[in-house]
């Protein structure tokens, strides 16, 4: 049987933590005794079970995003581009290559490059060899390159790409200065008239402000409540000619 591409589990530690807290809260809620303070009796059980149910719901929503929603969101992001097939594309924080491979399938003579620092905290099994395996299984090897690079210190020359895409990457850079620098690097490597499609669940206004300060026009999309969790926002930033 032919192996299928595996795009991993986003933020696996968060997913496991939500699941465990939900299960423990449910169990404790079944056995928590009431607490009597004078004439007042406080019943903890139902409240703990409700809290546990909320954590379990969040874990379920994250899992639905991992297995279904992120593919819809990938297509939504790539649909922002009017593809000709000749584009030079950069995927910042490529992970297992979901955006990278999706872009490559829209190219004919163009080429797509994916960069990452391969943090397994942010994506399960995150490693360049896993990404390369997905690239080969998806049949886009001739149009794709994978590099180990930090988004805030890219080695590409100025004006290298027509399209830069990034999903759930920039917030993982620990300091604001580094996140701002990553946005400036994306702006630097874009060609005049090129576009960046940036998606994240937080700090997106700050990212957009960096691009706006560099003279980019910014158009907002989302938030997308139906198929992403946490709900993602997206903006398209266009570099002036």
**How confident is the model over 59-114, as pLDDT tens digits?**
999 999 999 999 999 999 999 999 999 999 999 999 999 999 999 999 999 999 99
28 and 140 co-located in one domain: no
Cα separation of 204 and 155, whole Å? 24
- Long-range contacts of 97-100, Cβ-Cβ distance < 8 Å, separation of 24 or more: 97/7, 97/131, 97/134, 97/135, 97/138, 97/144, 97/146, 98/7, 98/70, 98/71, 98/74, 98/167, 99/74, 99/165, 99/166, 99/167, 100/131, 100/135, 100/144, 100/146
Cα separation of 118 and 128, whole Å? 7
| 7 assigned to some structural domain | no
| 6 assigned to some structural domain | no
The predicted structure's pLDDT at residue 35: 67
Cα separation of 89 and 83, whole Å? 11
234 and 125 co-located in one domain: yes
The predicted structure's pLDDT at residue 32: 76
62 and 155 co-located in one domain: no
**Does residue 2 surpass a pLDDT of 80?**
no
60 and 142 co-located in one domain: no
Q: How many CB atoms lie within 10 A of CB 75?
A: 10
Mean pLDDT, rounded, for 27-40: 76
| Beta strand extents in 77-155 (DSSP E only) | 88-92, 111-116, 144-148
Position 123 confidence tier, pLDDT thresholds 50, 70, 90: very high
99 and 175 co-located in one domain: yes
192 and 121 co-located in one domain: yes
The predicted structure's pLDDT at residue 186: 98
**Model confidence pLDDT, tens digit, residues 138-180:** 999 999 999 999 999 999 999 999 999 999 999 999 999 999 9
Lowest mean pLDDT among 47-51, 167-171, 216-220: 47-51
| 225 assigned to some structural domain | yes
CATH of the domain at 226: 3.40.50.150
The predicted structure's pLDDT at residue 1: 56
25 and 130 co-located in one domain: no
30 and 128 co-located in one domain: no
State the total domains in the chain: 2
Nearest to 229 by CA among 115, 5, 67, 62: 62
Task: Identify how many contiguous H helices and E strands the chain contains and give both numbers.
Answer: 7, 9
Note down the domain range covering 29: 12-71
């Amino acid at each position: 049987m032919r192996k299928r591409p595996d795009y991993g589990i986003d933020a696996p530690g968060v997913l496991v933590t939500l699941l465990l807290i939900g299960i423990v809260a449910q169990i404790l809620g079944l056995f928590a005794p009431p607490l009597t303070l004078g004439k007042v009796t406080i019943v903890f059980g139902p409240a703990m079970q409700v809290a546990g149910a909320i954590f379990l719901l969040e874990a379920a929503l994250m899992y639905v995003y991992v297995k279904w929603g992120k593919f819809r969101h990938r297509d939504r992001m790539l649909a922002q581009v009017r593809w000709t097939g000749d584009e030079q594309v950069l995927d910042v924080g490529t992970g297992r290559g979901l955006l990278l491979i999706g872009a490559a399938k829209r190219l004919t003579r163009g080429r797509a490059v994916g960069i990452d620092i391969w943090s397994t905290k942010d994506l399960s099994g995150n490693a360049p060899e896993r990404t390369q395996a997905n690239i080969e299984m998806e049949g886009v090897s001739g149009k794709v390159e994978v590099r180990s690079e930090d988004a805030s210190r890219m080695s590409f020359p100025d004006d290298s790409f027509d399209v830069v895409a990034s999903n759930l990457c920039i917030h993982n850079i620990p300091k604001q200065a580094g996140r701002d620098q990553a946005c400036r690097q994306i702006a630097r490597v874009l060609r005049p008239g090129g576009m960046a499609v940036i998606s994240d669940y937080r700090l997106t206004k700050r990212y957009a402000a960096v691009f706006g300060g560099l003279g980019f026009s910014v158009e907002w999309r989302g938030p997308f409540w139906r198929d992403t969790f946490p709900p993602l926002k997206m903006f398209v930033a266009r570099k002036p000619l």
